[in-house]
Structure 1
């Protein structure tokens, strides 16, 4: 059975899913999401940090919804532009914060994945070469 979409759309669809569902999950279980993000336990237990994390997730959810809207409209060039910006800018920010919090392996992983995402978008991977 063939896929209902081109395989080169998988990275964009993956990011759409993780940004929307992952951000929504933070409303239900903020500490779990903070751990999955790579934050240390002292921040996970902080009510203040949880509030800031939820605010950030609202913005991340918005990015995911925008990606989904542009994807469904077939505006793949816009999807790729957002992927490049999110992976290149926000990914570095995420990695720096996680690194400074002492979770160095997670920071390296996050940076590698975000730069992969940025490269995919920069090269027009969703739009197709």
Structure 2
């Protein structure tokens, strides 16, 4: 099963895009299979999550709050993340299914003070700390 935190990090932006495009109306549009792109993906993800949620009203409430919030409200996004995480932890088979809906590619995840994560290529030094010995080579 893919790491839930990584998956939540992929699922929530897609749902947020759908909410941004449709507002609270996204809840009534989740069955429309003709949607494409990120908004369509967000709607499909939301439909799957709503379909298995023990308490779909909680997820719907988070979507409604996000729709009513100021653009990119971190608290509203966090509330959605919490609901998505709960559902995925309760349904590991769904987590595996949803992970398959995202293209495979480089992923990096760093946690903790001064952590560094690189997904893809790096062409220079990476350091952390207040007194790094790395100097500009120019």
TM-score in terms of structure 1 length? 0.34
Of structures 1 and 2, the larger Rg is shown by 2
Structure with greater contact order relative to length (CA < 8 Å, sep ≥ 6):
1
